[in-house]
Amino acid sequence: MDSISVHQIAQRIGGEVRGNGDLLVDGAAAFDKAGPSSITFVGDEKHLRLLKDCRAGACFLPHAYSEAPTVLAASIPALVFVDDAMDAFLAILREFRPQRPRPNVGISPAAHIDPTAVIGPDCNIYAGAIIGPGVTIGSRCDIHAGVCLGQDCRIGDDCILYPYVVMYPDVVLEPRVIVHASAVLGADGFGFRFRNGRFEKIPQLGSVHIHSDCEVGASTTIDRGMIGPTVIGEGTKLDNLIMIGHNCELGRHNAFASQVGLAGSVTTGDYVRCAGQVGIADHLHLGEGSVLGARAGVHRNVPAGETHIGTPARPEQEQIRTVMSLSKVPEMRKKMQKLEAQVLELQRQVQELLESRAAPEAA
């Protein structure tokens, strides 16, 4: 899209302009990167406080901020007030940077497809993909180069598997699942018994079932269950480099950041969120709407709606009080050393007093 005036932008997204509506905008940019010909957005109090330092030519803001002192003092030439600033920004960003159309490559002759595989209409199967026996692929799926689909995998409509995704046998993806590069779905769970001085492998005879509208990040691994499936609930989003152990069952619309690790048989309710590097011990349950802060080490169940942080993870306010107390330890140590010296001095004085009283009696 070429340059467009702020007035035209406001008309497209139903916004209210304050300032120079004739200003021409040629791009959309992040708050701290925007220049005089760019439009950006303010979606929270943090960025609102920084508005006076923003160099953007135009800015989307929520109607709720229209009379805020920071807004009134802003030097940005054009402000556009809308119901949802991020939605408005993303709508305009898509116009300045339209997504590439879905290619139409069809089924490459360089893909290796077993004769028993069933592939739905309008699929793209790229060169080097390996489709095993009994695989079923729905309509409008994109299977990129190097993808390997094991025997009897089932993939729903409108799924995208990026390069080098590996799906072991019997993995199921429901419609509209996105799996990013080098993810591994359905590898054996880490199940062993220690007998007679050695580890014996426990057969992992379950599968993986990923429900609709999920997204699995690059190099994430989801192990198959030992008996039943490892389950990822509808709408759940997994970042890159996440490990989901065997027999885990995640609820709907969970969101896990990078390097989260779940041991076997962890279950979660709906709308659970885990920040980066959270580690969760086996057979625990994370209640609906619970939140785990970055690097939390979870060793017990987390009740619904609670936020836990730290290692070992504890309720947020409790952990904050503990950390605040620990920060005072050096000062407390100095006070203890001073008190110890005072006690020793008092003991010395008492001993001298006792000895001085005992002397005349002895005489």
pTM of this prediction?
0.86
pLDDT at 248 over 80: yes
Q: Are 282 and 304 contained in the same domain?
A: yes
Question: What pLDDT does residue 172 have?
Answer: 98
Q: Are residues 226 and 257 in the same domain?
A: yes
Same domain? For 80 and 217 the reply is: no
Q: Are residues 267 and 344 in the same domain?
A: no
Q: Give how far Cα 305 sits from Cα of 8, 132, 289, Å.
A: 43, 43, 5
Asked whether the beta carbons of 186 and 232 are under 8 A apart, the reply is: no
Distance from C-alpha of 76 to C-alpha of 293, rounded to nearest angstrom:
36
Average pLDDT of the segment spanning 273-296: 98
Residue 13 and residue 22: Cα distance in Å, rounded? Answer: 16
Whole-number Å distance between alpha carbons of 288 and 350? 63
Are 42 and 184 part of one and the same domain?
A: no
DSSP-assigned letters across all residues of 276-307: TT-EE-TT-EE-TT-EE-TT-EE-S-B-TT-E
- Residue 268: inside a domain: yes
Instruction: For residue 362, name the pLDDT band (cuts at 50, 70, 90).
Output: low
What is the CATH number for 39?
3.40.1390.10
Q: In the prediction, which pLDDT does 356 show?
A: 84
Specify if 160 maps to a domain.
no
178, 159 contact by CB (below 8 A): yes
Domain that holds residue 34: 4-96
Residue 303 exposed, middle or buried by CB count within 10 Å (0-12, 13-18, 19+): middle
CATH code, domain with 209: 2.160.10.10
Confidence of residue 89 (pLDDT cuts 50, 70, 90): very high
206 falls within a domain: yes
Residues 6+ apart with CB under 8 A from 296: 274, 275, 278, 279, 308, 309, 310, 311, 313
- Structural domains in the chain (count): 3
Q: Is the pLDDT of residue 87 over 90?
A: yes
User: What pLDDT is recorded for position 355?
Assistant: 81
- 249 shares its domain with 280: yes
Residues 344, 218, single domain; the answer is no
Which pLDDT score, from 0 to 100, does residue 363 have?
58
Q: 53-57, 238-242, 259-263, 332-336: lowest mean pLDDT where? A: 332-336
Report helix, strand or coil for 164: coil
Asked, for residue 130, whether it belongs to a domain, the answer is: no
Rounded CA separation 137/341 (Å): 79
Residues 192 and 266 in one domain: yes
Does one domain contain both 235 and 298? Answer: yes
Same-domain status, 238 and 337: no
Which residues make beta-bridge pairs with 143? 125, 161
Instruction: Give residue-wise pLDDT tens across range 43-78.
Output: 899 889 999 899 999 999 999 999 999 898 888 999
| Residues that are catalytic | 246
User: Residue 289 falls within a domain, yes or no?
Assistant: yes
Q: How far is CA 182 from CA 162, 248, 260, in A?
A: 8, 21, 17
Is 353 part of a structural domain of the chain?
Answer: yes
Q: Which of 56, 81, 96 is the last residue of a domain?
A: 96
Does any domain span residue 129?
Answer: no
Indicate whether 72 belongs to any domain. yes
Distance CA 144, CA 111 (A): 10
- Please say if the pLDDT value at position 322 is more than 80: no
Mean pLDDT of the chain: 94
Do residue 269 and residue 191 come from a single domain?
Answer: yes
Residues 84 and 197 in one domain: no
Whether the ω angle into residue 312 lies within 30 degrees of 0, i.e. cis, is: yes
**Which of 72, 96, 120 delimits the end of a domain?**
96
Is 90 exceeded by the pLDDT of residue 327?
Answer: no
